[in-house]
Amino acid sequence: MTTKFNIICISGFRENLQMAAMFAATASVSGNPVSVFLSMNALQYFIRDSRLQAPSEGEIGSLMEQKHVPPFTDLFRQAVELGGAVLYPCSMAMEVLGVLDGQLDSYIEKPLGLTKYISDCEDAHVLTF
């Protein structure tokens, strides 16, 4: 039995983004449909060639960096490439940040508004990070 997961990422902290990415990758490669909505403080880390590093909120985030845990962006990419997950940027957050469609990482889909994303959440488990 498969379960549909919709993941909403709004945090800019490494730990939250890492957990969202681990969940997306694990669920998608296990055969579950996964959709991720990138908004608020999370979106800025998906701008192509960005050098921004998500700050750690606590000790675990600092330890992940020290121990060279694979970055959340790599895990999200794997969720798309290996598991068929779909990542959507929030159109409002893109507008606020001044980001254009072509400026996002190549594995990110075209932007969606929150209203459309919510309508796609029907019959899905929704997780917010």
**What pTM, to 2 d.p., does this model score?**
0.94
Q: What is the pLDDT of residue 59?
A: 94
Query: CB within 8 A of 41, min separation 6: which ones?
Result: 10, 11, 12
Residue 5 C-alpha from the chain's centroid: 12
- Reduced to 3 states (helix: H, G, I; strand: E, B; else coil), residue 23 is helix
Token pair listed for 53: 């590093």
Token pair listed for 92: 């409002």
Cβ contact 87:80 at 8 Å: yes
Q: Please, what are the domains in the chain?
A: 5-128 (3.40.1260.10)
Cβ-in-10-Å burial (0-12, 13-18, 19+) of 115 comes to: exposed
CA distances from 12 to 29, 33, 66, 120 (A): 25, 24, 19, 24
Q: What is the pLDDT of residue 5?
A: 96
Q: What is the pLDDT of residue 122?
A: 84
What does the pLDDT profile of the chain (129 residues) look like in tens digits? 789 999 999 999 999 999 999 999 999 999 999 999 999 999 999 999 989 999 999 999 889 988 989 999 999 999 999 999 999 999 999 999 999 989 999 999 999 999 999 998 888 999 999
